[in-house]
Amino acid sequence: MPDKLHVTVGIIGLNRVTASVGLMLKAHSADPKGSAKFTVIGNDEDAEVMKTAQKSGVVDQTKMRIADAIKEAQVVIVDQPVGDLDFVYGELGYGLRPGAVVLDLSPIKRPVIEFAKTHFPRSESGQPQSYLVGLFPVVHFANLYDFRRGIEVADEKYLIGGEMFIAPDASCPPEAVKLASDLTDICQMKPRFLDPGEFDALSDFTETMPVALSTAMFNAIAAADGRKDIERSLNPAFAALIQNLRAHNPDDITDLLLSDADSTRRHINDLIRALAGLRDLLDKDNPDALSEHIRRTIATFDDWEARREKGEWEKPVGEMPGGISMFGNMFGGVIEKRLSKFEEKAETTHRKRKR
């Protein structure tokens, strides 16, 4: 049996998703049938989170500086708040080794592509020396109503059976896209290939609108009669609607809402019309009409939930062709040739920047 390929992975931002990926990489390394042995290096702004990651076996080591966490990494996984992305990609630009592939889990893809174009190192001829592929996991139904996000609930089985959006820029080398597909296989998820613009259109509803709704629902309390009594009486039913505010700071929410303001505005208008329709039914004082509206809504919801649980959708768009795992041949093929070439010139060809 040939020796396993050794791959160093940097994780920038440690949370339930990225830590679960780390655990799956470690499990793959321990599997005699696994094609690669992964060394995982983690970075997070919270020192306690990094301690937890190392203690729980998510990472082999942690680094306080982003540049130190990625300098030896062939693969870098990034999951950072939207408001921090420009800064983080600036740091990546200083530390990425030539040929590295960055897998970004952000809920917006087109702005991240621009950050990569701005900050990633380039050769003397202007060609990129590192590559970006946008990813975004959609969890299995079993975890759909579990809103916990912390590293303490990471589990190597957390992502199994879900779907992974893969949204590369048109200029991304196919080898980098295949690597993203192989990581999806290691996580035992189904790949779903989308254009970055298509992904952002979906994400604006599924990721941005819940944050907008949480903001609006909590603000509604301030305008309500008996505000103090309401705040004192909040229970999980309402907390589920506002829990997104716990996961984002004001700058993140602002940047998320502005990432595609026109689209977000349209979705908010759709929500207003839906609420107005419900209000109109109440104004008509017609219990039968209201009951029928709710009955149809619940029936549609039940149908969606059943399909979501069974995964009964069309086949993933644009499935990648089968073949040898890129973790088994990537660094022995095209990208290795590029890597060797780039490393020879790394000191002279990296674009100079001011910190």
Side chain identity at residue 279, one-letter code: R
Question: Each residue's pLDDT tens digit in the chain (355 positions)?
Answer: 567 899 999 999 999 999 999 999 999 999 999 989 999 999 999 999 999 999 999 999 999 999 999 999 999 999 999 999 999 999 999 999 999 999 999 999 999 999 999 999 998 888 999 999 999 999 999 999 999 999 999 999 999 999 999 999 999 999 999 999 999 999 999 999 999 999 999 999 999 999 999 999 999 998 899 999 999 999 999 999 999 999 999 999 999 999 999 999 999 999 999 999 999 999 998 999 999 999 999 999 999 999 999 987 764 444 444 445 566 555 444 444 444 444 444 444 444 443 4
Tokens 């916990």 sit on residue? 148
- Say if CB 106 and CB 80 are below 8 A apart: yes
Side chain identity at residue 75, one-letter code: V
Residue from 82, 46, 52 nearest 64 by CA: 46
Q: What phi and psi values does residue 104 have, to the nearest 5 degrees?
A: -105, 130
199-283 has which fold?
6-phosphogluconate dehydrogenase C-terminal fold (1.10.3660)
Distances (CA, A) of 239 to 159, 305, 348: 25, 21, 54
> Is the fold of 5-194+317-349 the same as that of 199-283?
no
* CB neighbourhood size of 220 (10 A): 11
pLDDT given for residue 320 in this prediction: 46
What are the sequence ranges of the domains in the chain? Answer: 5-194+317-349, 199-283
E-assigned strands of the chain? 5-12, 36-43, 61-62, 75-78, 101-104, 131-138, 163-168, 190-193
Class of domain 5-194+317-349: alpha beta
pLDDT tens string 15-43: 999 999 999 999 999 999 998 999 999 99
Structure tokens at 31: 């599997």
Structure tokens at 192: 């779903």
Give, as one character, the DSSP assignment of residue 83. G
- What stretch of H or E contains 7? strand 5-12
The rounded distance, in Å, linking the Cα atoms of 209 and 205 is: 5
Tokens 């990208």 sit on residue? 335
Residue from 56, 74, 211, 194 nearest 138 by CA: 194
The rounded distance, in Å, linking the Cα atoms of 284 and 266 is: 27
| Whole-prediction pTM | 0.88
pLDDT given for residue 106 in this prediction: 97
